[in-house]
Structure 1
Amino acid sequence: MNASIRQIPSRYPLLLLGVFVAVWIALGIAPRYRQDWLLENVLVLIAVPLLILGHRRLRFSDATCTCLFVFLLLHEIGAHYTYSEVPLPAWLDGALQQVMLTPSRNHFDRLVHFLYGVLITPLAVELLDARAPQQGIWRWLLPWLFVVSHATLFEIVEAAAAGAFGGDLGQAYLGMQGDIWDSQKDSALAAAGAALSVVFLRRRA
């Protein structure tokens, strides 16, 4: 009995992976814009195999695996519809319009950038604690900087890719929706989400 109980946590990431692959296949069958879906999934096709290969050397907690799973699902929804065209429930759309103070815009991309900070930070905390232990204020600052730097770098890569492809594909991938400060706002939201997550995690430790 005790042996079977101990085996359950080790199977949990495999369960999440199986569900994610099933959702990934389903949402990839008929995306709204095939080329944009392919672009959005480049990083997924790199990150997920790396996480699988590294699982034996560094076992993330079930909570962190769940956070990563939720973020990837949200990303796949954005990739299926494109981030600027995801159909939102009326209550969520109304709430986001009020919080963001920007009417007549689809805020799904803003929400996911904020949740990137919230949901990826646990992975950063566990990775850094295991491979580069910190002391003092660096236990708070380094995970935050780790996530913010990746979020900002992604915005730069995204803008470069959109400029290279141009046309409708570039616009769909970048998803600015007419806002020239879109990249800066997305980065700021990721930074805010990461800050909240770091405070929550470190205060619990």
Structure 2
Amino acid sequence: MFNRIKVSHFILLLIIIGAFIWSSIKTTDYFTWVLEVSPVTIGLLILIFTYKRFRFTTLSYIIITVLSIFVFIGGHYIYERVPLFNWIKDVFHSHRNNYDRFGHFAKGFFAIIIREILIRTSCLQPSKWLIFITLSIVLAISSLYEILEWLASKIFGKSTKDFLGTQGDIWDSQWDMSLSLLGGILCLLILSKLHNKYLKKPL
């Protein structure tokens, strides 16, 4: 049982490494790529080095893998130029490429990882308070990311235009935070019961 779990985690790690390598090859802009993938890369390294001390459930690692791939794709093409969403933009006659909006919504699913940390390291158990605190942290992380984008623009100037990816929308930050919160709400509604089952299994 334990070996099967470790093997599945190792396979997920290999998928992430493969996606990272692909993302780094012939990127649209290497400076923007570094800005986009650095936070995820640092987070993944922390997870690897703390794996023996704090091993997440397989469900959490699946979510981390999917979210990492989304970021690597956005970093490779630059969010506003992801081909699939350019096609969607043309088909629906939209004024912008919405991959960044989709990405922020997907990041709301990080709520499961936050939920797991809270359940396993605090006195909180499944309850309304757990939902409230989890969503508050999701929103706080999203807000922190917007602040980091703002700081990057102040430090590096116009070279961070692609990193900011506002596409001319003055309410872009508010959209991003709102979509992350919405993603977190849907994540908890859809996956909380499944997550509880994973938490009962041996880690």
What is the TM-score with the length of structure 1 in the denominator?
0.87
Contact 1:114/1:189 (<8 A) preserved: yes
2:154 is aligned with 1:158: no
Q: Residue 200 of structure 1: CA displacement? A: 2.8
What is the TM-score with the length of structure 2 in the denominator?
0.88
2:100 is aligned with 1:104: no
Residues of 2 paired with 1:171 and 1:90: CA distance?
Answer: 18
Q: Aligned pair in 2 of structure 1 residues 185, 8: CA closer, same or farther (>3 Å)?
A: same
CA offset digits 1:110-154 (Å, max 9, x no partner)? 001000002x11111111111123154212111111111101110
What's the counterpart of residue 115 of structure 1?
A: 106
What's the counterpart of residue 189 of structure 1?
A: 179
Residues of 1 paired with 2:133 and 2:122: CA distance?
Answer: 10
Alignment partner for residue 43 of structure 1, among 16, 26, 39? 39
Q: Which amino acid aligns with 2:181?
A: A
Contact 2:152/2:160 (<8 A) preserved: yes
Q: Residue 196 of structure 1: CA displacement? A: 1.3
Count the aligned residue pairs.
Answer: 194
Q: Residue 22 of structure 1: CA displacement? A: 1.7
- RMSD (Å) for aligned C-alpha atoms: 2.0
Q: Residue 197 of structure 1: CA displacement? A: 1.3
Residues of 2 paired with 1:186 and 1:94: CA distance?
Answer: 22
Residues of 1 paired with 2:181 and 2:85: CA distance?
Answer: 26
Identity of aligned pairs, percent? 30
Q: Aligned pair in 2 of structure 1 residues 127, 80: CA closer, same or farther (>3 Å)?
A: same
Residues of 2 paired with 1:129 and 1:60: CA distance?
Answer: 12
2:127 is aligned with 1:131: no
What's the counterpart of residue 136 of structure 2?
A: 145
Residues of 1 paired with 2:51 and 2:137: CA distance?
Answer: 20
What's the counterpart of residue 79 of structure 1?
A: 75
Residues of 2 paired with 1:83 and 1:31: CA distance?
Answer: 12
Contact 1:140/1:199 (<8 A) preserved: no
Structure 2: unaligned runs, 5 residues or longer: 197-203
Q: Residue 203 of structure 1: CA displacement? A: 5.1
Q: Residue 94 of structure 1: CA displacement? A: 6.8
Residues of 1 paired with 2:58 and 2:75: CA distance?
Answer: 25
Residues of 1 paired with 2:37 and 2:191: CA distance?
Answer: 29
